[in-house]
Amino acid sequence: MLHSPVPRSARRTVTVLVAALLALLGLTAAAPAQADVRPALAPNFKAPFPCGQQWTYSHHSAEVRRALDFIRSDGGSTAGTPQVASAAGTATRHYQAGGAGNYMVIDHGGGWKTYYFHLASFSVANGQSVAQGQQIGVTGSTGNSSGAHIHYEQLYNGVGQNIRINGTALAYPGSYGQYHLRSDNCGNTNFTTWGTGVRVRADARLNAAVVTTLPGPTPVYVECQKQGDVVHAEGYTNEWWSRLRDQRGFVSNIYIDHPDARLPGVPVC
C-alpha cells in the first residue's frame, strides 16, 4: 500500500522538535566529520625560504608531527641558503644531537609556533623578536639528517598541523619533484629611493650593465639584498645592494631612504 510523502514543512517541524528534545536531555546531534579542521586565528604563514626562490617538498611517513622537508628546485644550492621566519614572533635557539640538530622555534602567539630543523648556523639571538621574512638561520644538515634541507613544521598548542602557506594547504607527496613552491616571503619590502639619476644594475657590481635609471625618489619593492661592490655617496659608504622586483635589477642600499646599511626584515638573496 502506497503512502503519500510527508510534506517538507512537516519534516522541518519534526526536525526542530527532535533538536529541542535533545537539548532538554542535555544531548546534541553528532556533527558531520570534517577533514583538516584549521584552528581559528592562524597567522598568514609564508614560505620558510627567501623571496623569489622555488623549492620542492616531500613528507616522510616516519617524520614527527606534520612536517614537510624542502630542497631547492630553481638551480640554487640548498646548503647555505638562508631560512626565514614564515611569520613574525619570538625566536628561540635549540640543539638536539640525535635528531633536529640546530633548530629554531618561533612563537607567534595565540598557541601557534613554527619549527625549523637541521640549521647549519643561527642568524638571530636567542629570545629575539623577528619579522616575517627575516633571516633566522642557514640551511644545513646538522643532527639526524642525510643531506641539507629545511625541515618545517606548524604547530597549534603543541599539535602538528597540516602546513598552509598563504592560507592554502600544501600537498604531502612521498618524494621530491612532484610539487614546487615559490616564495613570496619578502618581508618589509616597500621602500623609497632618494636622489636623481640612480642607476639600477643587472648585478650588485658597479661595472654591471645598467637596467634602468630612476629619475627621482621612487617607491620600490625590494625582493632581497646581498653584499656587492662598495659604494660611496654623500659621505656614506655601503656594500649592500637591494634587488628591485619591478625594475628587475639591483640598486645600492645607499640610495634606499633608510638609516640602516642592511635593510631590516629583508632576506638575503
pLDDT at residue 223 is higher than 70:
yes
Which region among 7-16, 80-89, 190-199 has the lowest average model confidence (pLDDT)?
7-16
Question: What average pLDDT does this structure show over 74-99?
Answer: 94
63/161 same-domain check: yes
Residue 38 domain-assigned (yes or no): no
What is the residue whose three cell numbers read 643532527?
Answer: 143
> pLDDT band at residue 190, thresholds of 50, 70 and 90?
confident
70 and 134 fall within a common domain: yes
State the DSSP string of 90-110: EEEEEEETTTTEEEEEEEEET
pLDDT digits (tens, 9 = 90+) for 7-57: 444 444 444 444 444 344 444 333 333 335 566 678 999 999 988 899 999
The mean pLDDT of 96-123, rounded to a whole number, is: 96
pTM over 0.75, yes/no: no
With a CB cutoff of 8 Å and minimum separation 6, the contacts of 87 are 43, 44, 45, 46, 106, 108, 112, 114, 132
Residue 6 grid coordinates: 510527508
* CA-wise closest residue to 118 among 156, 136, 92, 144: 144
Say yes or no: 72 and 173 in one domain: yes
For 100, the domain range is 54-182
What is the Cα–Cα distance from 83 to 237, expressed in whole angstroms? 28
Q: How many domains does the chain have?
A: 2
- What's the confidence (pLDDT) of residue 57? 98
Q: Specify the CATH number for the domain of residue 121.
A: 2.70.70.10
The neighbouring-strand residues paired with 181 are 55
For the four alpha carbons of 102, 53, 209 and 212, in that order, the dihedral sign comes to negative
C-alpha pair distances (Å), 55 with each of 72, 103, 111, 157, 167:
4, 20, 28, 28, 18
The length of the chain, given as a count of residues = 269
Q: Are the beta carbons of 58 and 110 closer than 8 angstroms?
A: no
Tell me: pLDDT of 84 over 70.
yes
219 and 176 in a single domain? The answer is: no
Say whether pLDDT at 60 is over 50: yes
Interval 224-258: pLDDT, tens: 889 999 999 888 899 999 999 889 999 999 999 98
User: What is the rounded distance in angstroms from the CA atom of residue 61 to the CA atom of residue 53?
Assistant: 26
Whether residue 109 is found in the same domain as residue 157: yes
Query: Each residue of 142-172: pLDDT tens digit?
Result: 999 999 999 999 999 999 999 999 999 999 9
- Whether the pLDDT of residue 2 is over 70: the answer is no
